Structure 1
Amino acid sequence: MIKFKYYGHACFLLETDNEKLLFDPFLTGNPVASISADEVKCDYILLTHAHGDHYGDATQIAQKTGAKVISTPEVLTKLPSDYENVHGMNLGGSFTFPFGIVTMVPALHSAGVEGGIPCGFVIKFNDDTVVYFAGDTALFSDMALIGEKQQIDYAILPIGSNYTMDAKDAAKAVQLLNAKHAIPVHYNTWPVIAENPEAFKSYAESISHASVDIVPVGSSLDLVK
């Protein structure tokens, strides 16, 4: 079983029986973070783009833990040149890691690094649980294609608006993805991305077959197929 641990903003951990995958580790300076960078334990760090509220403490955590960092080549250049435990990918590519298959998919956003592009990740774990993390993105119609190719069990989506989709567009994304479950992130960190997750839950469940799991910061959820 995969466990989702929400650390705040767009930072979370997916934990299997053997590996810990950390996503977009913005902790230092995050006003709602439930854990400090020094406390994090992980085997992999997956980065959707290089904005400070996503790249965050990636360098510090990587150097402390020795985690393998997975991202686009441009984002990986932000790491120290002597840090070699990296795996570069690009849109449409897949790679099999010990925990399962990672596919890098598009996101509509800016990248935070010169020449770079933002991305999302679809992960098919060894127990066949499929998790999609959209990263920061606008709603786009090819989400339907992502959902068609991958039978998504859990879609982790930003809902805070201003920089990303709002709750209504994120609900439409759930519908396009044909996901079984959805988890909202990237909201209420600052007033500019204030959003009511209950409104997202209500609307998403009214227009899709998904159930929405609102996970409070600092809490965990077992991902059940």
Structure 2
Amino acid sequence: MRVKVTYVGHSCFLFEGSEKIIIDPFISGNPNTEIKPDEIDCNYILVTHGHADHLGDAIGISKNCGATIIAPYELATYCQMQGAKNVHPMYIGGSFRFTDNLKIKFTIAHHGSAAMGETITYTGNPVGMLIELDEKTIYHAGDTGLFSDMKLIGELNQIDLALLPIGDNFTMGPEDAAYAAGLLNCKEIIPMHYNTFDVIRQDPLVFKKYVGDSSNVSILSPGQSKTI
């Protein structure tokens, strides 16, 4: 079965197959996203860490449509404390089969994680995610720097699509992300986490040039989709 992948913007993607899944739904306040949170109807909401540009509208969407939030344990608990009724906590290295056609595994990500408002709430370790949906494997790296165990992730999984941050400053830049692509040995890549704010302004064509012929790079604008 084919999976439709829609780039919502920043690090947010919508996956549509036998299940409908959204990851890191930073929609409200995202200057590059036109869709509204109340237009989202999905089965699962994946959240890689607690920063506002990733947790985003997850709690509100979950309350609205009843979707299950899948997140690191502390972050899932935080979402529950904020009124989300359906949460599924996990930890790095753990996997869970949610349906016959959907399995999620958490990987490491080198970053931070906190919900920051009037106070700062620790929300556990940040993660990347391996999403097995309808016999397709998608790796969403989350916010991360380059790390050598990406090679292990690539050796243990046949990755059909890797979603890699290229914005620099807070995550990998284009050159490190291209090196990561080589370690992951992935078939296809969509760059993410760039051009939302001035501090992460990047040209994705530079990233594509660094990758060369080792993987196919698809550059999507917010709202555009591709099928894998």
**TM-score (structure 1 length as normaliser):** 0.94
Provide the aligned C-alpha RMSD in A. Answer: 1.2
Distance 1:70 1:165 in 2: 24
Q: Tell me which residue corresponds to 1:192.
A: 199
Q: Tell me which residue corresponds to 1:75.
A: 75
Greater Cα offset, 37-46 or 79-88: 79-88
Distance 1:80 1:23 in 2: 17
Distance 1:28 1:133 in 2: 21
Deviation (angstroms), 1:115: 5.7
> Which sections of structure 1, spanning at least 5 residues, go unmatched?
none
SS at match of 2:145: coil
SS at match of 2:122: coil
Q: Tell me which residue corresponds to 1:61.
A: 61
- Report if aligned partners of 2:102, 2:132 keep a CA contact under 8 Å in 1: yes
Q: Superposition pairs for residues 1-225 of structure 1, below 5 Å? A: 1-16=2-17, 18-81=18-81, 83-98=84-99, 99-112=101-114, 113-114=121-122, 116-126=124-134, 128-206=135-213, 209-223=214-228
Distance 2:9 2:224 in 1: 10
- Report if aligned partners of 2:91, 2:106 keep a CA contact under 8 Å in 1: yes
Aligned partner letter, 2:222: V
Identity value in percent:
46
Distance 1:148 1:205 in 2: 21
Residue by residue, what CA displacement relative to the aligned partner does 1:181-216 show, whole Å, maximum 9, x if unpaired?
01001100011000001111111125xx21101111
- Report if aligned partners of 1:28, 1:57 keep a CA contact under 8 Å in 2: yes
Residue by residue, what CA displacement relative to the aligned partner does 1:61-115 show, whole Å, maximum 9, x if unpaired?
0000100110111111222435331111101011111232111100000011416
Runs of 4+ in 1 over 2 A off after TM superposition: 80-84
- Report if aligned partners of 1:160, 1:166 keep a CA contact under 8 Å in 2: yes
Distance 1:60 1:80 in 2: 11
Aligned partner letter, 2:84: Y
Aligned partner letter, 1:178: N
Deviation (angstroms), 1:124: 1.8
- Report if aligned partners of 1:8, 1:34 keep a CA contact under 8 Å in 2: no
SS at match of 1:147: helix
Alignment coverage as a number of residue pairs: 219
Residue by residue, what CA displacement relative to the aligned partner does 1:39-73 show, whole Å, maximum 9, x if unpaired?
11111000000000000111110000100110111
SS at match of 1:32: coil
- Report if aligned partners of 1:131, 1:152 keep a CA contact under 8 Å in 2: yes
